[in-house]
């Protein structure tokens, strides 16, 4: 195996928001998802001591973003992330470059456990670093083959963290942009949607969640109420295809209405709560076009579609609720090697 003559490799990958289709996508439904302008950055020094060490700011107390946006349960969530990340790196090196060791430093702008794809972005970043190390390349270009390798291996890593993962988070973190994800049946059939400057606003409830627990909750719901769940899944699929058309048309009203319809389906499967409903109510009273959970729910972030002129009123109405909010943009670039 030709190992890179470089002593350092760096990579970064974006977090994500799900515009349509979370949870249902685990059941091979489609989803619309966007990479966002908040990233995970990684840098690795190559060593010959066969060991993988990771130091990171993913621990809540080290992360300025977590301090600002986070919750006090994040420390536990972060510990759950770091050990699987190390195992993930070790398992790839063991097969491809057993003589190598890596000293990795991760710095992330993504708060863990609030639906922004922090674990996927960490896995994609690490997979990008590992790909460069194993391929022994100094190139910053990523070939389609390497990008696919990064996606597939990052997904294996994410599955060490979340058990059952649809792959949508790793996909958009690897490829970037706004994508229509249509499942992982052997290959990933995903067409990038013509990129629209969607006016997206994010509200962090500062209550972190455990994605795998929420996915298991939905699994139980799907088994206990299978007929109803199938109906909801069909509705979610229709929301998604109509959403793709609304984005292509650039109709903000339709996109917002469909996001809200999507949220109602998420509420039915039990991943919303009173606080989320209250915040969404406030968003509508300020003139938001649409609002929904993004990601696993049960806390985490709320994604709002709202015209920029509405934001001051929204911020004023949310002040005093101990939340964090900010406008976000879609990021065209997925994994970057530097």
In the complex, least distance from residue 16 CB atom to ligand MEV, rounded to whole angstroms: 7
Cβ-contact 70, 208 below 8 angstroms: yes
CA dihedral 259, 265, 268, 274 (to 10 degrees): -10
- Name the 3-class secondary structure at 37: strand
Question: Looking at residue 188, what DSSP letter applies?
Answer: E
Nearer CB in complex with ligand MEV: 165/237: 165
Annotated catalytic residue, options 55, 95, 169, 235: 169
Nearer CB in complex with ligand MEV: 16/131: 16
Count of CB atoms situated within 10 Å of the CB of 290: 24
Count of CB atoms situated within 10 Å of the CB of 322: 8
**Could you confirm whether 169 is annotated as catalytic?**
yes
In the complex, least distance from residue 319 CB atom to ligand MEV, rounded to whole angstroms: 28
In the complex, least distance from residue 97 CB atom to ligand MEV, rounded to whole angstroms: 29
Q: Specify the DSSP element, H or E, that contains 103.
A: strand 101-108
**Residue whose CB is nearest to ligand MEV in the complex, by number:** 166
Nearer CB in complex with ligand MEV: 132/262: 262
In the complex, least distance from residue 164 CB atom to ligand MEV, rounded to whole angstroms: 7
- Name the 3-class secondary structure at 5: coil
Nearer CB in complex with ligand MEV: 212/315: 212
Q: How far is CA 143 from CA 95, 131, 337, in A?
A: 22, 11, 11
The residue ranges that bind ligand MEV (CB under 6 A) are: 22-23, 25-26, 115, 117, 165-166, 168-169, 211, 215, 295-296
The set of catalytic residues is 169
């Amino acid at each position: 195996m030709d190992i890179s003559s470089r002593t350092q490799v760096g990579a970064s990958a974006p977090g994500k928001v799900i515009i349509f289709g979370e949870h249902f996508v685990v059941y091979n439904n489609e989803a619309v998802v966007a990479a966002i302008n908040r990233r995970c950055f990684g840098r690795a020094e190559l060593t010959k001591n066969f060991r993988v060490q990771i130091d990171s700011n993913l621990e809540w107390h080290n992360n300025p973003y977590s301090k600002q946006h986070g919750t006090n349960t994040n420390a536990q969530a972060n510990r759950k992330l770091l050990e699987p990340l190390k195992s993930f790196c070790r398992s790839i090196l063991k097969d491809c470059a057993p003589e190598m060791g890596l000293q990795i430093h991760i710095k992330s702008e993504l708060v863990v456990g609030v639906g922004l794809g922090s674990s996927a972005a960490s896995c994609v970043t690490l997979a990008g670093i590992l790909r460069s190390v194993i391929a022994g390349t100094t190139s910053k270009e990523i070939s389609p083959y390497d990008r696919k390798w990064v996606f597939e291996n990052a997904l294996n890593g994410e599955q060490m963290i979340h058990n059952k993962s649809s792959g949508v988070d790793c996909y958009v973190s690897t490829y970037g942009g706004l994508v229509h994800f249509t499942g992982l049946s052997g290959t990933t059939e995903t067409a990038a949607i013509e990129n629209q400057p969607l006016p997206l606003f994010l509200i962090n409830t500062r209550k972190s969640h455990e994605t795998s627990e929420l996915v298991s909750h939905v699994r139980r719901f799907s088994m206990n109420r299978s007929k109803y769940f199938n109906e909801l899944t069909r509705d979610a699929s229709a929301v998604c295809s109509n959403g793709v058309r609304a984005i292509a048309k650039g109709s903000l009203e339709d996109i917002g209405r469909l996001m809200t319809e999507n949220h109602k389906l998420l509420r039915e499967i039990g991943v919303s709560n009173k606080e989320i409903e209250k915040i969404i109510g406030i968003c509508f009273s300020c003139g938001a076009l649409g609002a929904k959970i993004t990601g696993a729910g049960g806390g985490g972030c709320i994604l709002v579609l709202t015209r920029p002129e509405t934001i001051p009123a929204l911020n004023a109405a949310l002040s005093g609720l101990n939340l964090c909010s900010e406008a976000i943009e879609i990021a065209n670039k997925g994994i970057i090697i530097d």
